[in-house]
Chains A and B, each alone.
Chain A
Amino acid sequence: MVISMSENTHIVNHLTPSIDGKGIMMGRRAFTEDFAPAGALILKVLRSPHAYAKITSIDASEARNMPGVECVLTHEDFPRIAHTRAGQGYPEPSPHDKFALDHYVRYVGDEVAVIAAKDKLTAEQAMQTIKVDYEVLTPVLDFETAKGNDTLVHQEEDIKEMFPIGFNPKENLAAAYEMEVGNVEDSLKDCEVTLEHSFYTQAQSHVMMEPHSVNVQLDYQNRLVIYSSTQTPFHIRRIIASVLDIPLSKVRVIKPRVGGGFGGKQAIHGELLAAAVTLKTGKASSLIYTRKEVFEATYTRHPMRLDVKLGADRDGTLKAIDFYGLSDTGAYGEHALTVFMVTGSKVLPLYNKVDSVRFHGHVVYTNRTPAGAFRGYGAIQGNFALETAIDMLANKLEIDPADFRKKNMMLEGETSPIFKIMGEGTKGTAMTMESCKLDYCLKRGRELTKWSERYPRYDETDTTVKSVGMAIAMQGSGIPYIDMGAATIKLNDDGFYNLMVGATEIGQGSDTVLAQIAAEALSTTMDNVIIYSSDSDLTPFDVGAYASSTTYVSGNAVMNAAKKLRVMMVDKVAHLMNVSTDLITFDGKTFKSKDETLSLKDFSNRITYNEHQEQLTASDSYVGHKSPPPFMAGFCTVEVDKQTGEFKVLDYTSVVDCGVTINPKLAQGQVEGAIVQGLGMAAYEESHRTKNGRLIENDMMTYRIPTHKEAPHLTTEFADSHEESGPYGAKSVGEIGIDTPPAALSNAIYNATGVRITTLPITPEKILEGMKKKENDL
């Protein structure tokens, strides 16, 4: 592992174990369910059995009269306030197309009623007595026929976009977008070689280990206290208050430890219903989604079709890229536009030297489980299409695809016009790549995988063949001028610090990383910084854990707050010693002037109890002025059985430029976890629906994520890189790892077999079918 190039740091970029792993492994109270008050009402949600239907009547009288049932809420019990469940900056770029409960149900699993009872059994029995009359409507399940379909998923008049996003429910459009640099059609005509192909990506499920959980209670000040397994506590507070029509000041959201999110908890799921029950009954409530509900009734990744056209000259100069995308947002438009835009904005700038580039398309409504945020956030779909197409073009040109990339890809000091044009939902921000070690990542990856010896295939026998395939990727670091993070740090007596951040630890290690940044700025040790995160009453604002923003955005806020406190402490010491501040030095433990020393401990005790008493507290906040992308090159080595199409990923090598790694092991964990999650999408994870729109793979037996046995050997290295605008040189690393596996695997399979798979997942059946077809064609 490369550890250098950082400033001379003592905690940042050093090996530091996570601050919370031990307590959690030992089983301490940590997660949302652990904090459910004893005796809380148990909630169950009655869900639609139909993909599309109008509720003509609901009779819940029998349920309401059952002993032990506290209340049943239906659409008749809620004010009709259109909103989006997406946890995003306000006003959201997602259409306001959802009601707490509605008299239409738009997918199998959509909410019909919530039942609150003394225990689970009573709630389940009561649920079965509710009589719902449905007028069943014809659903639209095939996203390629959704636009302009006779079936309109949203017929209601009281839904809206917050600003122009191409929202047109009369055409089943949640959003639409187009942009063009130069003239792609003209450029393509001038190209000596062109390539045109369509790619399909599937509705991947997040499968975080902790299901979506919430519990709600009224405290003794009659305020609503919500414990939620969320990635966006502050957005939850805002959405709940506005939809239940209560002041924000009446809501407190506490995020305990979260058992994984990956984007699946970047929205409200259940919080609203639980809050409504507690408001109505005055009693505490607890709602924990079953795994079936997590699969059927939260979010998936947006499935997409991407039509790609590329043009190049014979010498291997890429000249034009044209991307048309059709994205399926399911029944509600959460993250519809922004995910779609990232499919272009965090993929296409990789090849910044083209004459022209176009990105356009539609995000359609269908009657299936809504799509939402998911690690990669559109970039993995775009990366699969572009990076597979690039290999296809390089094959056509008979150029090594790694050489082709080297010639055409983004380099340090360069830019792309796309940065200025495309933001997330709005215009973007122009920026130059002040740190971009993509050339190193590519070179090092080739060395590590013995590319020059092994490309395209090696060790071939009569029955098996091994091969390598690769792809490059970029992501971002937060959303500039929109996403803000803030931190407050205070000095306590005895000389230790409290660090309060809105930033949202969901298992990625942000509490550890942010505490490291504070400890670094204060020249102290990790045990001297006590971090507390994500409590809307006690911590300052932060948008939450998404868009690869925490290390970069929240990290900058923490660094600035800690540096501010350091200045305040030195000022105070100078005042106590009656000398000028520039004569004071501080090494984290002791303040020194020319002829006096004062330990931090004595100083803090003195200003707490004895003289010039003052609570020293510093706050700062940060909003990015750019979003410096992390980059990586991913290399997949596979072995394929030529008789069956079965394959095994032997190794996945990642060389990543995420600036300075604040915590090298946690950064490696982010990359490796994302690689295997990306390989899950590339090779294993698939969902099917019945013709009536019911999800078939709705549990962890049938929806197959990689286990210890599928996970390949992982080789992970970091480039020596320093991002000037990041805290101690860091960029983000949360998402970048997930982008390359689908394309790199597809390319490796082609290099092994000559079979090109362009519909995910890549399965032995598809490979075998391709090999058979090739044989027959000969």
Chain B
Amino acid sequence: MKIEFTLNNALKTIEVEPDEMLLDTLHRLNLYSVRRGCDTTSCGVCTVLLDDKPVPSCSFLSVRLDNRSVTTVEGIQEDASDLADYFGSEGADQCGYCNSGIALSVHAMKQLNKPLDEETIKHYLTGHLCRCTGYQSQLKAIKAYLDGDKHV
């Protein structure tokens, strides 16, 4: 089936199978940042922004993409690079498998353009499981990034 959608600000027209998930489509297009984790929308490593909202791509049918817009980390390189500096200074990287997905949710939070309390930030991040860090270093890095701290 032919679909037309916007991928990282560029219009794309591609053929997809009727049962193809967005994660597999993006891998076909060599977008490595979108990771494969749990297959059941539980872990967050396959997060993309769909019309600017974070969604898990592992369970989203590609045929539903028609006329919509998808953003991956490849589309927000500058933001991801900046956020990575904050992660680096908190030692919050570790394996990094979940980090590109987190960068997209943080980008979505930043787009809200208003100060967020810790509970709201945690709410955005609860869908991003991480088995490496224990979360506190991530949370510190993300808060500092959203606050625009200049310590890095």
Contacts and interface: CB of A to CB of B under 8 A. Distances in A.
Interface of A: 15, 17-18, 20-22, 24-31, 33-34, 120-121, 206-211, 257-260, 262, 288, 290-292, 506-509, 663-666, 668-669, 672-677, 699-701, 705-709, 711, 713-714
Interface in B61-108: 72-74, 77, 80-81, 83-85, 87-100, 103
Contacts of A120: 24
A38 to B, nearest CB: 9
B40 A673 contact: no
A507 B96 contact: yes
Interface string B38-64: 111011010000000000000000000
Interface string B110-142: 000000000000100110111111111111000
Contacts, number: 186
Closest 8 CB pairs of A and B: A27-B33, A507-B95, A665-B91, A17-B88, A21-B93, A259-B97, A24-B96, A672-B134
A209 B87 contact: no
A591 B99 CA distance: 42
Contacts of A714: 134, 136
A170 to B, nearest CB: 39
B42 A701 contact: yes
Nearest to A208: B131
Given A26-B33, A673-B132, A708-B122, A291 B91 contact: no
Given A209-B131, A292-B39, A29 B32 contact: yes
Given A209-B129, A673-B133, A708-B139, A24 B37 contact: no
Contact of A259 (B35, B84, B122): B35
Nearest to B39: A291
16 contacts: A21-B99, A22-B84, A22-B88, A24-B97, A25-B87, A27-B73, A210-B97, A260-B132, A292-B39, A507-B96, A663-B91, A665-B137, A669-B137, A673-B94, A674-B134, A714-B136
B35 to A, nearest CB: 7
A210 B129 CA distance: 11
A209 B93 contact: no
A18 B141 CA distance: 14
Nearest to B127: A707
A27 B72 contact: yes
A208 B91 contact: no
A719 B40 CA distance: 42
Given A22-B81, A25-B84, A673-B94, A707 B31 contact: no
Contacts of A700: 37-38, 40, 42-43, 129
A146 B138 CA distance: 44
Contact of B136 (A15, A258, A506, A672): A672
Contacts of A675: 134
Interface of B: 17, 19, 24, 27, 31-40, 42-43, 45, 72-74, 77, 80-81, 83-85, 87-100, 103, 122, 125-126, 128-139
A667 to B, nearest CB: 8
Contacts of B89: 15, 17, 665
A30 B37 contact: no
B98 A209 contact: yes
Contacts of B17: 121
A209 B36 CA distance: 8
B36 A28 contact: no
A25 B91 contact: no
Contacts of B129: 207, 209, 700, 705, 707
- In this complex, which of B17, B19, B36, B122 has the most chain A Cβ atoms within 10 angstroms of its Cβ? B36
B74 A27 contact: yes
A219 B87 CA distance: 38
A122 to B, nearest CB: 12
A713 B129 CA distance: 17
B42 A699 contact: yes
Contact of A209 (B24, B31, B34, B37): B37
A706 B37 CA distance: 16
B125 A208 contact: no
A663 B137 CA distance: 15
A668 B91 CA distance: 8
B97 A507 contact: yes
Contacts of A677: 131, 134
Contacts of B38: 291, 699-700
A25 B96 CA distance: 6
B90 A665 contact: yes
Nearest to B58: A291
Q: Which of A20, A30, A207, A669 has the most CB of B within 10 A?
A: A669
Given A21-B93, A27-B72, 6 more contacts: A17-B85, A21-B87, A25-B99, A259-B96, A506-B95, A663-B91
